[in-house]
């Protein structure tokens, strides 16, 4: 299983904000304390240099809000309602970018129709902001160009997280801020390689480069890995038609494992290689089988490497699953506290991995730029680099040669083949990534180019990213898409003012040519400077390239060419598109309506555990999901089981600390960083604390709807209103009041331990990404 966090990619970059932004909206983010804290510097510089206005919308008065020109407090889980209120005023006053809507968008009329319902009165009722605040902000934001916005986990970690990200992008699209310097959507990724990990798709529902799980994709990767597709797919279980028919007659809760196996006679039948895996949010259901679970068998082993399980929700379920596993493997530089969460004493293996300073390779920063990182020292003691651990694993289980073969591949005269007998780490791994992840335009991000950028850091302008001298004409880190080794990278996505050779591009054509009788291609007026193809066009494939580009291919070129721009190892499609001055992925309209989703257009839906029972009937959550990521998930049945706010009247949101990241397992092993926040706590308004007789600095219990509780220190704070609390999620080592210190192996206990807030994180998951609802749950306080 793997992570499924639905952020989105940063369209611009921090230097661009510093140089060009005139208006900044920060919603669901707190860059003053959350990684990367350097983002706050750029915001403050934009205020100083451009007189840019900073507006913060957040349920909590944060350190970022303290620097804002305007702060608007809204109720957790009401971001969509707030933005629709802004759009209501934009359309009412004619502030929308009519030309962009006409030439580059689809279905904005339906957004306008939904926005009409969100009057200032209704927005104030649902979100808690005042009508005056809404009107003042909308007027300022809509009439200041260019305007940019930032979001982070406060937007994505909701049962409507996917819709939250969509409505913010739609706001920028309607105002014409997409593809503009100083505009765009700047999603703040937390750690130094969150974007890179996402690009590599450490996910349960897709492959590296955001490819799906269709057989055509598996064939593409098998070709790039140098393995035979027919042999490769035999490792996956399949279900035959007869078995599936039997399965359909079974009642819910049946163990399905007996119905799935590999059928030699029907290799193309329905199979698990085309199915999503378990998500990181609900992997435990593969062990516990409490909800309807679809799988070829029970999960028996959990391998944890590079992620903080204690930063996941539903800690009580995770603890139960850990106890039932056959084996738990933890590969970390510092002990991941998943190793001590359960009371099991056997079947746990801790393998010491080294730190970033003891390894080498590239990462992708929040703005899509790659950064080469050189090894400082060799791994100390018995620790190993991550790849060496995986190599040892592959050798032990007999697939090492297949595992590393992709690094020995290369393209010779337009044909991909094995070109060497051994590989050089990490250069050949980097080049393999560039070859295979064509879907994001990774082709030009080779190890040689990235090493050259590291050597020439001093030759790049930090505000434009443009290089000089040895790196003249290239943007720092070759931000993807970087279509080939001649391309400079793309610092700003969807910028139609620049030619292809300088990073210009329209919107990607991904969803067909026509929907409901409406063309999904951009207007004829949307043409990149110097492009030979005028107006909108489909993504380039082997089938349509001659017609769209007006060229004739040789028979040799046709034989070498892959089926489409994203699966063409020959490089011929990229070359022909370069010559025509166009992007291989097409030139389309940005769709505001996602017809495959449960909500084709974003809609406000009350949190699963809403504090406003009076609004649940009007804005209900989704229907229960029968199957997604191999499990069923409750929505409306959980929301309407009872009025949860009667027993749990206080809203609960998470917060971040500048000295701790993720589960805090690294920083809490530092006595200096631990001293800053030596114990777990929650910020509580003095009026709320007085209601329960809780003193400032005293201990209290926080109870959650699922029957869990944590014991933490109460810290009086006016940053939260009397109806809500906020608390960090960076602690572990104490579980529902029980000190787990005795379970730590010798010399591994951190300087600071505490309750994990995710023990009381409420039930709730996004229907698309299955991210947990960390930021809009309910709780009840009690004096300890």
Q: Residue 242 has what pLDDT? A: 55
Considering only CA atoms, which of 747, 760, 681 is closest in space to residue 720?
681
Tokens standing for residue 555: 């028979």
441 CB burial (10 A radius; 0-12, 13-18, 19+): buried
**DSSP assignment string, 220-276:** HHHHHHT--HHHHGGGS-B--HHHHHHHHHSPTT---GGG-B--TT-TTSSBGGGS-
Find how far residue 555's CA is from the centre of its chain. 42
Considering only CA atoms, which of 448, 338, 412, 344 is closest in space to residue 732?
338
What gap in Å lies between CA 131 and CA 121, rounded to an integer? 6
Task: Encode 582-644 in three state secondary structure.
Answer: CCCCCEECEECCCCCCCCCCCCCCCCCCCCCHHHHCCCCCCCCEEEECCEEECCHHHHCCCCH
Backbone angles phi, psi at 691, to 5 degrees: -60, -30
In a domain? residue 356: no
Considering only CA atoms, which of 350, 240, 310 is closest in space to residue 753?
310
What gap in Å lies between CA 704 and CA 717, rounded to an integer? 21
Task: Encode 473-517 in three state secondary structure.
Answer: CCECCCCCCCCCCCCCCCCCCCCCCCCHHHCCCCECCCCCCEECC
Task: Encode 16-29 in three state secondary structure.
Answer: HHHHHCCEEEEECC
Q: Residue 307 has what pLDDT? A: 83
Strand partners, 684: 716, 725
Q: Residue 7 has what pLDDT? A: 53
In a domain? residue 406: no
In a domain? residue 684: yes
Within 10 Å of residue 550's Cβ, how many Cβ atoms?
A: 10
What gap in Å lies between CA 278 and CA 204, rounded to an integer? 6
**Which residues touch 475 (CB under 8 Å, ≥6 apart)?**
369, 464, 465, 466, 467, 488, 489, 490, 491, 503
What gap in Å lies between CA 655 and CA 340, rounded to an integer? 24
Query: Taking each helix axis from N to C terminus, what angle separates 131-142 and 120-127, rounded to the nearest 10 degrees?
Result: 110
What gap in Å lies between CA 751 and CA 434, rounded to an integer? 42
Q: Residue for token digits 């590599």?
A: 200
Q: Residue for token digits 């009057």?
A: 119
> Is 592:622 a contact under the CB 8 Å cutoff?
no
Considering only CA atoms, which of 691, 609, 766, 684 is closest in space to residue 282?
766
Which CATH number do you get for residue 630?
2.40.40.20
In a domain? residue 630: yes
What gap in Å lies between CA 506 and CA 584, rounded to an integer? 11
Q: Residue 1 has what pLDDT? A: 29
> Is 120:131 a contact under the CB 8 Å cutoff?
yes
**What's the half-sphere exposure (Cβ side, CA atoms, 13 Å) at 719?**
19
> Is 118:80 a contact under the CB 8 Å cutoff?
no
In a domain? residue 399: no
What gap in Å lies between CA 128 and CA 59, rounded to an integer? 9
3-class SS at 90?
helix
**Angle ∠(500,506,510) on CA atoms, nearest 5:** 120
In a domain? residue 766: yes
**Which residues touch 219 (CB under 8 Å, ≥6 apart)?**
229
* Domain residue limits at 680: 613-783
Cα→Cα distances 618→162, 605, 650, Å: 20, 9, 21
The helix or strand, by DSSP H or E, that contains position 15, with its residue range, turns out to be helix 14-20
Cα→Cα distances 187→45, 74, 156, 492, Å: 18, 20, 10, 13
In a domain? residue 688: yes
Spans of the chain, pLDDT less than 50: 1-6, 247-264, 267-268
754-755 and 631-633 beta bridge pairing: unpaired
Cα→Cα distances 714→76, 290, 699, 730, 758, Å: 21, 35, 6, 16, 17
Considering only CA atoms, which of 756, 633, 763 is closest in space to residue 705?
763
What gap in Å lies between CA 551 and CA 351, rounded to an integer? 56
**Which residues touch 356 (CB under 8 Å, ≥6 apart)?**
192, 373
Cα→Cα distances 697→111, 371, 702, Å: 47, 44, 15
Q: Residue for token digits 């669901």?
A: 28
What gap in Å lies between CA 531 and CA 146, rounded to an integer? 26
The domain tally of the chain equals 1
What gap in Å lies between CA 710 and CA 703, rounded to an integer? 7
DSSP 380: P
**Which residues touch 422 (CB under 8 Å, ≥6 apart)?**
408
């Amino acid at each position: 299983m793997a992570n499924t966090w639905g952020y989105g990619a940063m369209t611009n970059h921090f230097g661009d904000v510093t140089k060009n932004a005139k208006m900044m909206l920060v919603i669901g983010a707190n860059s003053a304390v959350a990684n990367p804290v350097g983002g706050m510097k750029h915001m403050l510089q934009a205020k100083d240099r451009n007189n840019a206005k900073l507006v913060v919308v957040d349920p909590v008065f944060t350190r970022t809000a303290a620097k804002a020109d305007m702060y608007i407090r809204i109720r957790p889980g009401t971001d969509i309602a707030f933005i629709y209120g802004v759009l209501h005023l934009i359309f009412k006053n004619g502030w929308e970018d009519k030309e962009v809507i006409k030439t580059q968008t689809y279905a904005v009329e339906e957004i306008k129709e939904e926005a009409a319902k969100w009057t200032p009165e209704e927005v104030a009722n649902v979100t808690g902001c005042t009508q005056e605040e809404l009107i003042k902000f909308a007027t300022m934001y809509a009439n200041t160009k260019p305007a940019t916005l930032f979001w982070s986990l406060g937007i994505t970690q909701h049962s409507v997280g996917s819709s939250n990200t969509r409505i913010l992008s739609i706001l920028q699209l309607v105002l014409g801020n997409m593809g503009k310097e100083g505009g765009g959507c700047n999603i703040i990724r937390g750690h130094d390689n969150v974007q890179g990990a996402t690009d590599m798709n450490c996910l349960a529902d897709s492959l590296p480069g955001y490819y799906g799980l269709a057989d055509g994709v598996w064939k593409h990767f098998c070709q790039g890995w140098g393995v035979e597709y027919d042999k490769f797919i035999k490792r996956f279980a399949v279900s035959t038609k007869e078995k599936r028919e039997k399965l359909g007659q079974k009642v819910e809760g049946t163990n399905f494992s007996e119905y799935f196996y590999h059928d030699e006679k029907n290799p193309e039948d329905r199979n698990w290689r085309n199915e999503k895996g378990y998500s990181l949010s609900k992997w435990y259901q593969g062990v516990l089988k409490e909800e309807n679970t679809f799988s070829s068998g029970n999960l028996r082993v959990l391998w944890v490497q590079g992620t903080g399980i204690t930063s996941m929700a539903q800690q009580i379920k995770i603890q139960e699953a850990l106890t039932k596993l056959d084996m738990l493997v933890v590969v970390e530089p510092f002990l991941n506290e998943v190793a001590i969460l359960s009371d099991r004493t056997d079947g746990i293996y801790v393998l010491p991995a080294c730190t970033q300073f003891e390894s080498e390779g590239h990462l992708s920063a929040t703005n899509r730029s790659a950064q080469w990182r050189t090894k400082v020292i060799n791994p100390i003691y018995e620790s190993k680099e991550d790849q060496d651990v995986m190599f040892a694993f592959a050798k032990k289980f007999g697939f090492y040669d297949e595992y590393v073969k992709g690094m020995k591949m290369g393209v010779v005269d337009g044909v991909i083949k094995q070109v060497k007998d051994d590989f050089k780490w990490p250069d050949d791994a980097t080049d393999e990534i560039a070859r295979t992840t064509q879907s994001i335009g990774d082709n030009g991000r080779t190890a040689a180019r990235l090493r050259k950028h590291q050597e020439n850091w001093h030759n790049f302008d930090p505000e434009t990213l443009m290089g000089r001298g040895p790196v003249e004409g290239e943007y720092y880190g070759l931000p993807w898409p970087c279509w080939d080794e001649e391309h400079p990278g793309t610092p700003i996505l969807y910028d139609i003012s620049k030619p292809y050779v300088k990073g210009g591009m329209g919107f990607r054509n991904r969803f067909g040519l026509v929907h409901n009788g409406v063309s999904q291609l951009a207007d004829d007026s949307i043409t990149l400077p110097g492009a030979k193809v005028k107006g909108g066009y489909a993504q380039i494939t082997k089938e349509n390239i001659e017609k769209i580009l007006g060229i004739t291919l040789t028979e040799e070129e046709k034989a070498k060419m892959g089926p489409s721009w994203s699966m063409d190892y020959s490089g011929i499609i990229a070359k022909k598109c370069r010559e025509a001055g166009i992007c291989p992925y097409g030139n389309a309209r940005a769709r505001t309506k996602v017809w495959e989703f449960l909500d084709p257009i974003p809609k406000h839906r009350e949190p699963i555990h809403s504090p406003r029972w009076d609004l649940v009937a009007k804005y209900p959550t989704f229907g229960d999901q029968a199957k997604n990521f191999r499990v069923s998930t409750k929505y409306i049945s959980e929301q309407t089981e009872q009025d949860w706010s009667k027993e749990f009247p206080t809203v609960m949101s998470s917060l971040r600390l500048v000295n701790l990241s993720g589960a805090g397992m690294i920083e809490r092993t530092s006595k200096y960083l631990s001293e800053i926040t030596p114990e777990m706590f929650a910020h509580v308004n003095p009026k709320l604390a007085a209601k329960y007789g809780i003193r400032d600095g005293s201990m209290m219990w926080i109870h959650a709807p699922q029957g869990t509780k944590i014991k933490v220190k109460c810290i009086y704070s006016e940053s939260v209103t009397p109806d809500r609390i906020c608390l960090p999620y960076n602690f572990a080592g104490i579980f529902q009041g029980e000190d787990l210190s005795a379970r730590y192996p010798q010399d591994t206990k951190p300087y600071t331990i505490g309750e994990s807030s995710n023990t009381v994180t409420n039930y709730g998951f996004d229907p698309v990404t299955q991210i947990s609802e960390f930021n809009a749950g309910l709780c009840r306080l009690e004096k300890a």
